[in-house]
């Protein structure tokens, strides 16, 4: 049986229900506090409005019983102030007025009071009114708890969905900055500037021909695990994983001013992380493998592409094609950077940094383009 069904939650809530009694007459305050304490509620007494506001700020109660006529600030003043502040607007306030004082009731309603009690106070009426507000309070707290739980679940679902594409840190940032990560991805079905990185496993063809089929998949998983970790480390978004290659995007779904730098750092980390595995595979299977990386920047179309039953978060454009071609040309442990990404990289690294610059003609392109080549040293 659940806590709620067994009534345990209700009992705990009742025990924790706290009432602030505000009355300048100590006998009246003592009487009210005694009645409520007998109902299992926790009471605190304040002798005037200022003490009440201090007590509420220090430890907000669940309900305030507020006398109307007090020296200094009246009950109306206090009530109006509480209802006007976001933090206390929902705090139930019961105003205590004279029985025949209809004007006070009208003023109390205008001040936002939730209910009224008449003096002299009849204990049955006091308990009935407070219990009604307590039930409302508990229902509101329960609904708020459910709403928060649903919100946490919703964010967790979005986080899990994102985890297929982006690092946990970036997922948190998307949730934090957008409030609803789904909107970020949906709204990106448009042309946007990205940096595309393609990485693949050089020597994979020989691997697939010489290694037993049963261990190819675990080996590929080991390979992709390192590449994915490297992409997440630099907050890249993984767009596709096919065969032995991986496509990672930067500056998407959220802007990254240093997107090219991140892409190059990701390529370097991929190569360095995979190096020990490559060395082991060489020892175990006599395979010469490594990673080749191609990077290019430019405007592409980003969005969820596919059929309602199967969709993929995809980017399409020349920058992606150039990055793929450069990856195919890259040697083991080499990062090839296309001309547009090179411009940003040059300003980042400074013109004095020695870089291997060469002209290449890509498949499907009529004109040669100038690319940068970075060789990554591995231990």
Partner 1 sequence: MTAQTITVTVAKDLEDLIPTFMTNRNKELETLRVALGAGDMEQLRQLGHRMKGVGNSYGFELISVLGKNIEDGAKARDLPGLQACITEYTDYLARVTIVYE
The residue (of 69 and 314) whose beta carbon lies closer to partner 1 is 69
- CB of residue 155 vs partner 1: minimum separation in angstroms? 50
- CB of residue 130 vs partner 1: minimum separation in angstroms? 15
Residues 6+ apart with CB under 8 A from 354: none
Q: Count CB neighbours of 206 within 10 A.
A: 14
Cα–Cα distance measured from residue 20 to residue 35, given in angstroms and rounded to the nearest whole number: 13
DSSP state of 122: P
SS3 356: strand
Q: Which stretch binds partner 1 (CB under 8 A): 114-122, 249-257, 298-306, 369-377?
A: 114-122
The residue (of 33 and 323) whose beta carbon lies closer to partner 1 is 33
- CB of residue 32 vs partner 1: minimum separation in angstroms? 8
State CA 288 to chain mean position distance: 42
Structure tokens at 334: 């080499």
Cα–Cα distance measured from residue 56 to residue 140, given in angstroms and rounded to the nearest whole number: 19
How many helices, marked H, and strands, marked E, lie in the chain?
14, 13
Q: Does 26 bind partner 1 (CB under 8 A)?
A: yes
The residue (of 96 and 322) whose beta carbon lies closer to partner 1 is 96
The residue (of 104 and 342) whose beta carbon lies closer to partner 1 is 104
Measuring CA to CA, which residue among 335, 173, 368 is closest to residue 261? 335
Q: Does 34 bind partner 1 (CB under 8 A)?
A: yes
Pairing type for strands 290-307 and 190-202 reads: antiparallel
- CB of residue 120 vs partner 1: minimum separation in angstroms? 3
DSSP state of 49: H
Q: Does 224 bind partner 1 (CB under 8 A)?
A: no
Tell me the helix, strand and coil percentages in the chain, rounded to 5.
50, 25, 25
User: Can you tell me which of 13, 14, 30, 261 binds partner 1, judged by CB under 8 A?
Assistant: 30
* Residues β-bridged to residue 240: 247
Q: Does 48 bind partner 1 (CB under 8 A)?
A: no
User: Can you tell me which of 121, 241, 279, 287 binds partner 1, judged by CB under 8 A?
Assistant: 121
Distances (CA, A) of 36 to 33, 41, 74: 5, 6, 23
The residue (of 96 and 319) whose beta carbon lies closer to partner 1 is 96
The residue (of 119 and 154) whose beta carbon lies closer to partner 1 is 119
- CB of residue 23 vs partner 1: minimum separation in angstroms? 9
Q: Could you write out the DSSP letters of every residue in 218-280?
A: HHHHHHHHHHHHHHHHTT-EEEEEETTEEEEEES-SS--TTHHHHHHHHHHHHHHHHHHHHHH
The residue (of 31 and 224) whose beta carbon lies closer to partner 1 is 31
Cα–Cα distance measured from residue 77 to residue 81, given in angstroms and rounded to the nearest whole number: 6
Q: Does 28 bind partner 1 (CB under 8 A)?
A: yes
User: Can you tell me which of 9, 13, 14, 25 binds partner 1, judged by CB under 8 A?
Assistant: 25
Measuring CA to CA, which residue among 300, 343, 311 is closest to residue 196? 300
Q: Does 361 bind partner 1 (CB under 8 A)?
A: no
User: Can you tell me which of 38, 169, 205, 361 binds partner 1, judged by CB under 8 A?
Assistant: 38
Q: Does 73 bind partner 1 (CB under 8 A)?
A: no
- CB of residue 6 vs partner 1: minimum separation in angstroms? 30
User: Where on the chain is the footprint of partner 1 (CB under 8 A)?
Assistant: 25-28, 30-31, 34, 38, 69, 96, 98, 119-123
């Amino acid at each position: 049986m659940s806590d709620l069904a067994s009534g345990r939650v209700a009992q705990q809530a009742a025990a924790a229900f706290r009432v602030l009694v505000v009355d300048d007459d100590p006998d009246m305050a003592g009487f009210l506090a005694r009645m409520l304490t007998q109902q299992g509620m926790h009471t605190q007494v304040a002798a005037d409005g200022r003490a009440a506001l201090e007590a509420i700020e220090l430890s907000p109660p669940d309900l305030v019983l507020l006398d109307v006529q007090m020296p200094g600030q009246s009950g109306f003043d206090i009530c109006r102030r509480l209802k006007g502040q976001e933090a206390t607007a929902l705090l139930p306030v019961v105003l205590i007025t004279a029985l025949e004082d209809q004007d006070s009731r009208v003023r109390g309603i205008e001040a936002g009071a939730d209910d009224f009690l008449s003096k002299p106070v009849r204990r049955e009426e006091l308990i009935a009114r407070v219990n009604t507000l307590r039930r409302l309070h508990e229902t509101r707290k329960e609904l708020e708890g459910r709403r928060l739980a649903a919100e946490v679940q919703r964010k967790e679902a979005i986080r899990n969905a994102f985890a297929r594409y982006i690092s946990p840190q970036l997922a948190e940032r998307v949730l934090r900055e957008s409030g609803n990560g789904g909107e970020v991805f949906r709204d990106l079905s448009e042309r946007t500037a990205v940096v595309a990185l393609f990485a693949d496993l050089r020597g994979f063809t020989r691997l697939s021909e010489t290694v037993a089929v049963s261990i190819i998949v675990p080996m590929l998983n080991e390979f992709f695990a390192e590449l994915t970790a490297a992409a997440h480390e630099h907050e890249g978004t993984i767009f596709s994983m096919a065969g032995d290659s991986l496509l990672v995007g930067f500056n998407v779904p959220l802007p990254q001013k240093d997107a090219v730098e991140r892409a190059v750092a990701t390529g370097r980390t991929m190569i360095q992380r995979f190096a020990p595995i490559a060395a082991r595979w060489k020892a175990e299977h006599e395979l010469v493998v490594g990673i080749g990386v191609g990077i290019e920047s430019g405007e592409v179309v980003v969005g969820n592409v596919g059929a309602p039953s199967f969709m993929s978060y995809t980017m399409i454009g020349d920058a992606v094609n150039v990055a793929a071609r450069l990856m195919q040309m890259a040697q083991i442990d080499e990062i090839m950077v296309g001309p547009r990404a090179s411009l940003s990289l040059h300003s980042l690294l400074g013109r004095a940094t020695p870089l291997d610059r060469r002209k290449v003609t890509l498949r499907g392109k009529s004109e040669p383009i100038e690319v940068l080549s970075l060789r990554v040293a591995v231990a």
